[in-house]
Chains A and B, each alone.
Chain A
C-alpha cells in the first residue's frame, strides 16, 4: 500500500491519458503495474515477445492477432500510453455521456469497439474483409479440426449473408449490421476484469 500520487507522477502525461481514455487513477496504476510486470527486461516498452510470454494468450486461437492490434504498422514496440489506449476500448460504454458535437468520439464508444473487432479480421487494413482474410480467421479459430471444404463453405455462407453490395467482401458498415447489439453482449460491456476495476474505485 502507499499513496498513489507519487506513482502517478512517475508516468508522463498521465492527465492527458486519463482524459483520453476515461480510466481512473486507480486503474492507471494497476495497468502500470501490469505493464511493468510484462516488461520483464525493464526497458519501458513492450515487444511482441513480452505479450507472447502470457500463457493464456499464447493458447488463444486469435492470440497473434490480438497482439498485433497493439502494434501500429511499422512499429515494433508499444509504450505505456498506447497500451492503455488500446485497453481503453474495453471499458464499459458511458451511458450518460453528454453528446457534444465537437468533442472526439471516446475510445470505448460502440463504434470504436466494433472497429477494433473489425481490425482483427482486416489485417491488410484496406477497410474490407475479403474472403481470404475471413478464411484465415476461420482457420485460426478452428485449426486442423475441420477440412478445407468445410472452411470454405462457412466463409461463403457468411459472406453471402453479410455482403449487401455484392462486392464479395465485407465492409465496416456491413460488419456493423451483422454484429449483435453491443449493449446486451457480454463481451465488451460486462468484461469481468473491467468490472472488477470499477468496483475498487
Chain B
C-alpha cells in the first residue's frame, strides 16, 4: 500500500502547493497592493455589472417558467410603501362618515325626528369605525415591524435566503444557483476572512509608528476583503476635526465603510465577545470613546466626555449613529437627541446599500454576530453609496430635538429613505402610553373642543 500511495500523494501535494501559491499571488496582487496605495483596477465594478446581468436573466427565467407551469407568482411587497395609505387624518375621516350619516337621514329613512346638523361635532357611534379600520390595517401590515425585517426584493439574486420558497423551475436556473453556491462558499467565503484577519494583524503591528495612514490602509483591506464596492459622493463635505459625524445605521459594516475613507473616533458601548475584542484592539491606536454599560445610563457623563473630545481641535471627528440600533435601510428612525445637544458642527452622512447583492441589515434578534459575518462574507458583494452632506449646526431658537429632525430629514432625502418618527427603541421595547394619549387628544379635540361641553335639555 505504501509505495502505491506515495506517487499519488506527491501529486496531490504538488497540486495543492501550486494552487496555494497561485491563490496567494492573486491575493497579493489584486487585493493587498492596491489597498495599500488606494488604487482600483475596476475589476469589482465589472464583477458587479456581470452579476446584475445574471440576476436579470434569472428573474426573467423564473417568471417565464412560472407562466408556463401556470403557477401564480408570489410578488413581494413593493419596495417603497407597503400599504398605499391615503394620508387621511382623523378629522377628514370623521367628517366624511358623518356626512354619509346625515345624507342617509335626509333620505327619509331616519328614525329620529331631530337630526343633528352635519357640521356639528358630536359623538356618533360610527366613530369607532375609523379606529377599527386603522387597527385592522396595522394588523395586516405596519411600518415599524417592517423596518426591523430585511427588505424584500423584486428580483431574485440567487441567494436562497432572500427567496421565500425556492422551487425547481428550470435546470439551467438550478445549475446557476448551484454554481453560485460553490463560488460563494468555496471561493469568496474562505478568501475574505483570511485576508481580513491576516493582513489586518500585520498592519496593526505597525500602528505605533504611522497612525492615520495605517488606519486607512487597514480599513481599505477590510473593504476589499468583503468585496465592498463603495461610491463616495461629495467628498468635499467630509467631516473635519472637532465635529460630529452622524449617519444612519444598518449594520456594523457601516463603520468599516466610513472609516476607510477618513479617520474617526468611535463612540459606543463596550460589548463582550468578538465585538469587544475588536473594540479593545482599536483603542490602542486611537483615542476612541468606549463606555461601560452602566455609564451609558448617565447621560451627563456621556455628554461631558463627548464635548470634551469635540473641543479639542486636534482630535478626530466623532462618529455617531443616533438611531441607536440597526434599521433595515429602507427608512430612518428617530434620532436620539443626545449627540445634537453638544453644540458643535454636525456633518450628516447618508449610507444606502444596494440590496441586490446581499442584505447588509443585521437583524440582531434573529442572528448573532458570527452568523451575520458569515452571511456577509458569503454574499455576492456589498454595494453601497455614501453621500457626505454639507455641515449643519443648531440654529437660533431651535431645540435639540428639532435640530435632530432636520438632520434626519436631510439624510433621508439624500439617501432616498423614508423619514419615520418612530423610535428605534421600539425594536425591543413597548410603545409608550404617550402615543395612545396623543390619539385620544386628537379625537377629543374634534368632539369636545376647547370649550365646555354643550348642555342638552
Interface size, chain B (Cβ < 8 Å): 79
The answer on a CB contact under 8 Å between A87 and B145 is no
User: How far is the CB of B192 from the nearest CB of chain A, in Å?
Assistant: 28
Report the separation of the CA atoms of residues A167 and B11 in the bound assembly, to the nearest whole angstrom. Answer: 99
The answer on a CB contact under 8 Å between B96 and A186 is yes
The answer on a CB contact under 8 Å between A150 and B448 is yes
User: How far is the CB of A138 from the nearest CB of chain B, in Å?
Assistant: 7
B133, B422, B436, B444: the one contacting A146 at CB < 8 Å is B444
A12 at the interface (CB under 8 A from B): no
A11 at the interface (CB under 8 A from B): no
The answer on a CB contact under 8 Å between A179 and B126 is yes
The digit string for A32-59, where 1 denotes a CB below 8 A from any CB of B, is 0110011000000000000100111111
User: How far is the CB of B258 from the nearest CB of chain A, in Å?
Assistant: 30
A175 at the interface (CB under 8 A from B): yes
The answer on a CB contact under 8 Å between A62 and B73 is no
The answer on a CB contact under 8 Å between A142 and B440 is yes
B125, B164, B439: the one contacting A60 at CB < 8 Å is B439
- For window 126-162 of chain B, which residues contact chain A by CB distance below 8 Å? 126-145, 149, 155-156
Report the separation of the CA atoms of residues A2 and B58 in the bound assembly, to the nearest whole angstrom. Answer: 12
The answer on a CB contact under 8 Å between A1 and B62 is yes
A61, A185, A192: the one contacting B440 at CB < 8 Å is A61
- For window 55-84 of chain A, which residues contact chain B by CB distance below 8 Å? 55-63, 66
The answer on a CB contact under 8 Å between A66 and B456 is no
Report the separation of the CA atoms of residues A142 and B444 in the bound assembly, to the nearest whole angstrom. Answer: 6
With known contacts A141-B443, A187-B133, A54–B139 Cβ distance under 8 A: yes
With known contacts A1-B74, A3-B72, A60-B135, A180–B101 Cβ distance under 8 A: yes
Report the separation of the CA atoms of residues A33 and B141 in the bound assembly, to the nearest whole angstrom. Answer: 10
B112 at the interface (CB under 8 A from A): yes
The answer on a CB contact under 8 Å between A121 and B128 is yes
Nearest to B137 among chain A residues (CB) is: A193
With known contacts A57-B139, A180-B126, A143–B84 Cβ distance under 8 A: no
The digit string for A145-182, where 1 denotes a CB below 8 A from any CB of B, is 11001100110111001101000001000010111110
B441 at the interface (CB under 8 A from A): yes
B124 at the interface (CB under 8 A from A): yes
B209 at the interface (CB under 8 A from A): no
User: How far is the CB of A28 from the nearest CB of chain B, in Å?
Assistant: 10
User: How far is the CB of B261 from the nearest CB of chain A, in Å?
Assistant: 36
The digit string for B422-453, where 1 denotes a CB below 8 A from any CB of A, is 10001000110001111111011101100001
User: How far is the CB of A42 from the nearest CB of chain B, in Å?
Assistant: 12
The answer on a CB contact under 8 Å between A60 and B436 is yes
The answer on a CB contact under 8 Å between B130 and A187 is yes
Residues of A whose CB lies within 8 Å of any CB of B are 1-7, 25-26, 29-31, 33-34, 37-38, 51, 54-63, 66, 87, 90, 116-117, 120-121, 137-138, 141-146, 149-150, 153-154, 156-158, 161-162, 164, 170, 175, 177-181, 184-188, 191-193, 195-196, 200-201
Instruction: List 6 A-B pairs, minimum CB-CB distance, nearest first.
Output: A143-B440, A3-B71, A56-B138, A145-B444, A59-B435, A180-B100
